[in-house]
Amino acid sequence: IYVLGHSLGGTAAPRIARQAPSLAGIILMAGSPRPLEDLMVEQFTYLFSLNGGPSAEQTAQLEAIKTQVARIKDPNLDLQTPPADLMGANAAYWLDLRSYNPAQVAASLPQRMLVLQGQRDYQVLAAADFTAWQSALAGKTNATFKLYPALNHLFISGEGPSTPQEYEKAGKVSSEVIQDIASWNKTR
């Protein structure tokens, strides 16, 4: 049995594998080893940079997001902090994520791992996240990595900078990704 996780599911996959040592392996599709709140700031910064840069309203929104991220990162984060002040999630959620280091857990796993990333992904960055997985798992013979230059966060092909509007178009996960997963599974 393998666990395939996409996005936040890819981030959680090492945690699942640690709790289920009988798993044969994990497949991380666009998972990040970095803190979710940091990704959220990067995502909004990117989105607000589209179409000529952030407007005054978007700049104010980004500052409000950064304020909430600072509350999330506060070492004295209180369980009573309202979710509205924490990007809509309860403090317990953020405190739990704070205690989880996906890369460190993945590096300790005996199971096989396949790490897949679309280079056009603006939600999980190839330059930061894919590279961080490679660094964390360097030297592990049970880890395989594949970067897809034309694919976005949904592993759908496109051109140019990825945008949210791209997600609204019907599409399918690239057949190359499906073939790579199947081939990797056969080589166990």
Distance between CA 15 and CA 7 in Å, rounded? Answer: 14
Give 34's contacts (C-beta < 8 A, 6+ positions apart). Answer: 128, 129, 132
Distance of CA 27 to the CA centre of its chain: 13
Q: List CB contacts of 116: < 8 A, sequence separation 6 or more.
A: 27, 28, 29, 30, 145, 146, 148, 155, 177, 180, 181
CA pair distance 114, 14, nearest whole angstrom: 11
Helix (H, G, I), strand (E, B) or coil at 117: strand
Burial class (CB in 10 A: 0-12, 13-18, 19+), 41: middle
Q: How far apart, in whole angstroms, are the C-alpha atoms of residue 102 and residue 105?
A: 5
Active site residues: 7, 121, 153
